[in-house]
């Protein structure tokens, strides 16, 4: 399918991004325009443009590249349809990386905000090598909720540069509101459309680098050979290669997409602004859609360090209640552009 990017700015920017690196074989974009805020978050300017949102891949086609997956999993993707053209009418700044543990810690210290994993006393989820998923009704891969687990205690080692996890949608909104007041700028979560547009970065393939799931180890921290020893029961779903990280990786450890954004796939699921509605795409506005007016669950995108490749496609939609905190879920913020020239 041809690339439907409709913005001259987008086309010009993307055309600069197609130089190949002889040593890695990956597309190496030039350094994009960037802005660093008061917490040290770096934002990349994303130009206005158009794209095709969603996926129309049939279960049969998916089965060819995901042969180990039960048929039912391939039939549960109807909320990615229909594919529809979306116009992003204004440029915006998007976090080049997911919000880190260190940045979230600085926010808590400066604002006094108490994350939900701490404030309600029920904690979050975490990795426990002695926990058996088969011992629970849901077969969840992680133990919780439990007060032992929180945004800074996911059950495995992190650094200040790791993506913050166990943060709720409400925590993400609180950070955006605090930054907006502190800097007199508009910070928020991206919409689903803005997120997918930025993730695809001009591509129309399953992943921003292509269709082959095995190629993900170069650009996404997912469930692969590095993580498999910790969860051998899911061997059939592990990528054959290794990205070098069994758990979360410091942000920016792997190659960026053509917009210069790291970890749009893998590392941490990212909250977006929209409520989830399985049928929303059929009536979605063609310009700057913001999702349903209300709902029960909020969308998260992009997959995590523990996600299987089927669930790390650019089009895949997942969801949880706004209060959910989980050891795979983090965030990435959007900063609205002050004018069309990108001045800040």
Cα-Cα end-to-end distance for the chain: 36
- Choose among 258, 256, 231: nearest CA to 246: 231
Please report where in the chains the tokens 């949880």 appear, as a residue. 320
Mean pLDDT of 214-223: 96
* Statement: residue 339 has pLDDT above 80: no
pLDDT digits (tens, 9 = 90+) for 107-119: 999 999 999 999 9
Provide the pLDDT confidence category of residue 24 given band limits of 50, 70 and 90.
Answer: very low
CA distances in angstroms from 149 to 106, 190, 231, 313, 321, listed in the order given: 19, 27, 20, 28, 18
* Statement: residue 12 has pLDDT above 70: no
**Structure letter (DSSP) for residue 239:** B
- Alpha-carbon Rg for the chain, nearest whole angstrom, is 19
- Do the Cβ atoms of 30 and 259 come closer than 8 Å? no
- Choose among 51, 94, 97: nearest CA to 289: 51
% of the chain residues with pLDDT over 70: 89
Please indicate whether residue 26 or residue 38 has the higher confidence score (pLDDT): 38
Provide the pLDDT confidence category of residue 29 given band limits of 50, 70 and 90.
Answer: low
* Statement: residue 344 has pLDDT above 80: no
Listed by start position, the domains of the chain span 34-336
In this predicted structure, what is the pLDDT of residue 177?
Answer: 98
In this predicted structure, what is the pLDDT of residue 20?
Answer: 31
Q: Which two tokens stand for residue 111?
A: 């604002």
- Do the Cβ atoms of 104 and 330 come closer than 8 Å? no
In sequence order, the 6+-apart residues with CB closer than 8 A to the CB of 6 are: 49, 50, 87
Mean pLDDT of 164-193: 98
In this predicted structure, what is the pLDDT of residue 10?
Answer: 39
Rounded Cα distance, 300 and 133, in Å: 23
In this predicted structure, what is the pLDDT of residue 235?
Answer: 96
pLDDT digits (tens, 9 = 90+) for 298-335: 999 999 999 999 999 999 999 999 999 999 999 999 99
* Statement: residue 296 has pLDDT above 50: yes
Provide the pLDDT confidence category of residue 122 given band limits of 50, 70 and 90.
Answer: very high
CATH number assigned to the domain covering 34-336? 3.90.1580.10
* Statement: residue 34 has pLDDT above 70: yes
* Statement: residue 244 has pLDDT above 90: yes
pLDDT digits (tens, 9 = 90+) for 39-97: 999 999 999 999 999 999 999 999 999 999 999 999 999 999 999 999 999 999 999 99
* Statement: residue 176 has pLDDT above 60: yes
In this predicted structure, what is the pLDDT of residue 33?
Answer: 82
pLDDT, the chain, mean = 91
Q: Where are the alpha helices (DSSP H) in the chain?
A: 8-15, 59-65, 71-74, 101-111, 116-119, 169-183, 192-200
């Amino acid at each position: 399918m041809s690339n439907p990017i409709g913005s001259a700015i987008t086309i010009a920017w993307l055309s600069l991004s197609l130089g190949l690196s002889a040593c890695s074989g990956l597309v190496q974009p030039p350094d994009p325009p960037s802005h660093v805020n008061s917490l040290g978050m770096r934002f990349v300017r994303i130009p206005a443009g158009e794209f095709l949102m969603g996926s129309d891949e049939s279960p049969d086609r998916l089965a060819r590249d995901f042969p180990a997956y039960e048929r039912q999993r391939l039939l549960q993707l109807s909320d990615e349809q229909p594919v529809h053209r979306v116009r992003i009418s204004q440029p915006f700044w998007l976090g080049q990386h997911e919000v880190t543990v260190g940045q979230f810690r600085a926010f808590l210290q400066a604002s006094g905000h108490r994350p939900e994993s701490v404030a309600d006393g029920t904690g979050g989820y975490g990795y426990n090598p002695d926990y058996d998923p088969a011992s629970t009704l849901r077969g969840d891969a992680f133990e919780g909720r439990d007060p032992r687990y929180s945004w800074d205690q996911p059950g495995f080692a992190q650094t200040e540069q790791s993506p913050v996890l166990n943060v709720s949608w409400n925590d993400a909104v609180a950070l955006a509101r605090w930054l907006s007041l502190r800097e007199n700028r508009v910070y928020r979560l991206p919409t689903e459309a803005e997120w997918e547009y930025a993730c695809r970065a001009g591509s129309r393939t399953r992943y921003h680098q292509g269709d082959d799931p095995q190629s993900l180890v170069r650009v996404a921290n997912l469930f692969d050979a590095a993580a498999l020893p910790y969860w051998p029961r899911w061997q059939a779903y592990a990528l054959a290669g290794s990205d070098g990280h069994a758990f979360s990786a410091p942000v920016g450890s792997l190659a960026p997409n053509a917009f210069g954004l790291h970890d749009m796939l893998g590392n941490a699921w990212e909250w977006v602004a929209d409520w989830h509605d399985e049928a929303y795409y059929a009536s979605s506005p063609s310009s700057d859609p913001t999702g349903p007016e209300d709902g029960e669950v909020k969308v998260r995108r992009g997959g995590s360090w523990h996600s299987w490749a089927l669930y790390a496609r650019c089009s895949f939609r997942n969801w949880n209640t706004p209060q959910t905190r989980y050891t795979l879920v983090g965030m990435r913020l959007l900063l609205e552009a002050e004018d069309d020239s990108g001045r800040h």
